[in-house]
Amino acid sequence: MNQLPSHLTGGHFLLGETDPNLVFTPEDLSTEEQQITETAERFMDREVFPRLDALEHQEPGLAVKLFKQTGELGLFALEVPEEYGGLGLGKIVATGVAAQLSRLSGFGVTCGAHSGIGTMPTSYFGTELQKQKYLPKLATGELMAAYCLSETGSGSDALGMKTKATLSPDGTHYVLNGTKMWITNAGWADLFTVFAKVDGENVTAFLVERNFPGVSFGKEEHKLGIKTSSTRRVVLDIVCVPVENVLGGVGNGAYIAFNILNFGRFSLGAGAVGGAADMIRTATKYALERQQFGKPLASFGLIQQKLGEMSARTFAAESAIYRTAAMIDAVMANGEQLDLTDPPFPRGMEEFAIECSIIKVSCSEALYSVADEALQIHGGYGFTEEFTPARATRDARINRIFEGTNEINRLFIPGTLLRRVQRGRFAFPAAAEASAKVSVRIANETNPLQAVANLLREAKQLALLMTAAAASKFGKSVSDQQEILAAISDIIIEIYMVESALLRTLKAIGRGHTAGVMTDLTMSLMNGSVARIAQRATTVAVAMASGEEKDSYLKLVRSMLPWNPVNEVEINRRIAMRLCELGSFSLLAGSESPVVR
């Protein structure tokens, strides 16, 4: 096992600048990886979307039939190890597939819950016998999987569960009693990863089969969106689960639950990118076709502004997704295991927990914004079910609740940083101390991308300083300062997303591409981001201090965020015009040829 480079350490992006050549971008996808994504795209276009109405009304058996077809194409086998019937590929490939399947969010939820949080507990925490028994059938879609953590009284407080597991007197099985709530795939799944407390205390994961006596289900939830998916309660009434179906060892359920959620959050973000790209394509097509005042909507400035901003947010999301996917794959390939469960699990599941939460929050909010703007571009038609933005907007709303609410994830990001500092895993105190001594140079940088890099460098120092100051001021009670932590989290999120876009753009330029559109997308992002960073930093400063100390903080915020605003109007017009020429977001970033030398 080799020592990993520093950029493959979770949260490292806050401590320095990353070499663009170390970052994976969509432009780096191999022909084989692109072909797998194209397989998923063709399947969605030919088999799924033509049956949209029937799926929305849950025509009996249709979703399961399409699910099994997806499995026959090998799209559930991507991350399953080869020795258990899978393809042994990683997050990079899975990202493109998730984006395509999630173009119809409900179907994407069905597939994602199966291949992600449904299958991965067995894949990463299962014993050899468990893997041999279940993984081959999960990889082909012969079995559908589900994940049972939430309960009526424990959503965000997942470990407050009431479901109990009691060992039988003869020691051969556990008896499970309780009810799980909001379980995706519950109406159709064959295998459930169920979390329960052994003896009312030790959170433990169990593999529960659908046909075990005592397993029953509530009715389908009447949901706002994702109507093509199944969501029900799972009722466990004296369910006898063999001891060999304990997953990861008794009392180790929390490690399983939260590390699986890390990957679940990442996959959610990947799916959100696909949904956003699809809505940009839909909105662009409508804006070109719809005439108002004798001109197409796409010719009007405010429509161009929307298309530009929608594209910029999606560009950042896509850039961050592939950047993170490659880092996860690299750490997983290193083979390091964390001996916290039985058997141990890969370090790669835990290392980028911060980045996965960033992606979950930012991508889910980007998708909702893009869907809402697509609806707005459609005007009155957008509010009808005749056009797709109505469904897309309804479907997008759940993502801010799934896999831990965005509020919980916002608290998790700085909280995890502080825990890693305490454990000596993050060079936080030294970085924060140095940031307080920074003498900021407010220069009129003529290179726009260098201006972004300079701003991000100072924003990182500011984020570290404010996190350290909050920890120092509030001590052990810092976790109670939710508004402050959320504001710091927003700063960190902005940094990671804009930097991901910047690094992708710089890498393209380094390879000899003009990257004019990428530069415009990055500048549009930064122009809005710096204002949000300043606002959130001001919130923290005012909440933590008063009098001269507050004034000192505010002066520091102003001095550390030098920025000469760019002409957003012109930038968004250029982005929109290029988008309208191409008709598709997926063609936008890679549309420029190499520079002729």
The residues annotated with a catalytic role in the active site are: 403
Which residues, in sequence order, are bridge partners of residue 165? 176, 198
Q: Which of 333, 263, 10 is nearest to 121 (CA)?
A: 263
Rounded to whole angstroms, what are the CA distances from 464 to 11, 53, 414, 543, 552?
11, 50, 10, 17, 17
Please check whether residue 87 is in contact with residue 74, taking contact to mean a CB–CB distance below 8 angstroms: yes
The DSSP call for residue 546 is -
The SS3 of residue 461 is helix
Rounded to whole angstroms, what are the CA distances from 300 to 86, 277, 307?
50, 21, 11
User: Angle 292-298-301 (CA atoms, 0-180°, nearest 5)?
Assistant: 95
H or E, element range at 558:
helix 547-560
Alpha helices per DSSP H over 83-220: 91-101, 105-113, 120-125, 128-140
Residue matched to tokens 């093509």: 228
- Reported residue count of the chain is 597
CA 213 to CA 340: how far, in whole Å? 32
Please check whether residue 265 is in contact with residue 358, taking contact to mean a CB–CB distance below 8 angstroms: no
The DSSP call for residue 514 is -
Please check whether residue 110 is in contact with residue 230, taking contact to mean a CB–CB distance below 8 angstroms: yes
